[in-house]
Structure 1
């Protein structure tokens, strides 16, 4: 676990909102601004491969550690959906992101969706990675809490952590393991399990279809279609399309919930192609791509 001596390709930026410190990885770059939001129990570093590719393609890229995660405030009192959304909007304002593309995976996708509904004129476009407006699953908190409590921490090494957290998929395990904190006795999560569980309070009790219907910016939904499947079922996706007929959709075979870790190059191509299809004022009809299929 020897730290690398190579210079970091990103700089750490901080935003303070109502006393809560938020940490972001600013990859720099020019062109269209992009803000990346990770999922529950995740961290900004999960986006490193995608962020690097986007910057190399001429975008200015920022990845946020959401409240309760990573290098951001670990014990925030407020973990409502509204607090997560307000954080994202504050980062956009404080870091000077101009009409950005907002990309969110899983819980970060929920944050992105609600931000797009709350500030429809603020964003250039929206990309949801394994995320949608569905909710109302009262058992999800017990399920997630049990999973987090079962982690055999501390992990003795990155390899052991990656093997456990990846479920046999090395890119996924490596991505999760990079978010761990090194202490004298091993590697520990950089979040509190109870904060993660409380962050799901609203998602466990209701869906967000009204907010979804209120979105006016162009939107791309990227879904995993691996053996274990993604979290967006056919019925939910069909309702998403019914309420937003202009929705573009791409499903990636042999890919699970962590699309951004398993296939960052494919995700990068989808994002660049999506943005390239947009007109200055509105979206165009979706085009077929070799990576896409009907979700």
Structure 2
């Protein structure tokens, strides 16, 4: 699949996107410390659509250290992408932090979104503010990694770890992630603030997808779905929080059901 790469300049950031295909637009937002490349297999499975993969601010090939890491800034970036490409209304898809962002976009600009798909997302604050622990974890990485083997030896094996390794960029001194620990900590802290009023105001038809072994308890999942206004829930057996990586076929089937 051949992607066209673009950089869209927003207020205080340059947002890198990759798009491919034609027809109805599907815009995909990755999770915290992720990048758009995680969703290339998703794009390839939706070759009959125009798929737009976004590197959110602070991630991937977008501005690495933006001054503004508020939820409003992330929302404004996505709005700018959709409007700049002229693809509205879109199917807006997000995973984890990307799902939280997608939900807020639909709440503030329902005219831009005609379907919403939230993979392992919530209204925020479900598990408290774990941003400091996340920051400490990312600061613990012994950077730079000498090579892929060294990165794998430290990070371990698993679909998320492999995605992190695939996203490492090469420099003169070794391999480093395309994100900084303090930026991830600040971003996670903003996501931890509950945004139930926004979620309860979303009128866009929404598919909420959870992995069987994801990060939310059944009580949290039920509360999120019950407080939505036009929601269908699907659970993916055997899947983790990163179901797009470890339950690809089931994820694509769920996604297609929303299209």
Normalised TM-score (structure 2) = 0.93
Gaps of 5+ in 1: 1-7, 276-295
SS at match of 1:121: helix
SS at match of 2:23: coil
Q: 1:150 to 1:51 in 2, by over 3 A?
A: same
> Relative to structure 2, which stretch is displaced further, 126-135 or 74-83?
126-135
Q: Which residue of 1 aligns with 2:175?
A: 187
Q: Which residue of 2 aligns with 1:41?
A: 33
**Structure 1 stretches (4+) deviating beyond 3 angstroms?**
136-139, 162-165
Q: Which residue of 1 aligns with 2:242?
A: 258
- Please say if 1:240 is aligned against 2:224: yes
Distance 2:131 2:238 in 1: 27
Alignment match of 2:50 (pick from 60, 63, 66): 60
- Please say if 1:222 is aligned against 2:212: no
Q: 1:73 to 1:272 in 2, by over 3 A?
A: same
CA contact (8 A) 2:210 2:235 kept: yes
Distance 1:61 1:139 in 2: 33
Distance 2:142 2:49 in 1: 39
Matched residue pairs, number?
259
Distance 1:54 1:153 in 2: 36
Distance 2:207 2:22 in 1: 22
Distance 1:199 1:242 in 2: 27
RMSD: 1.8
CA contact (8 A) 1:50 1:265 kept: no
Q: Which residue of 2 aligns with 1:73?
A: 63
Alignment match of 2:194 (pick from 176, 200, 207): 207
Q: 1:144 to 1:225 in 2, by over 3 A?
A: same
Structure number, greater radius of gyration: 1
Map residues 1-295 of structure 1 onto 2, 5 A cutoff. Answer: 9-26=2-19, 28-55=20-47, 58-135=48-125, 139-162=129-152, 164-165=154-155, 167-169=156-158, 171-204=159-192, 206-226=193-213, 230-244=214-228, 246-275=230-259
| Greater fraction of residues in strand | 2
Distance 1:189 1:78 in 2: 20
Normalised TM-score (structure 1) = 0.82
Q: CA deviation at 1:134?
A: 3.2
Gaps of 5+ in 2: none
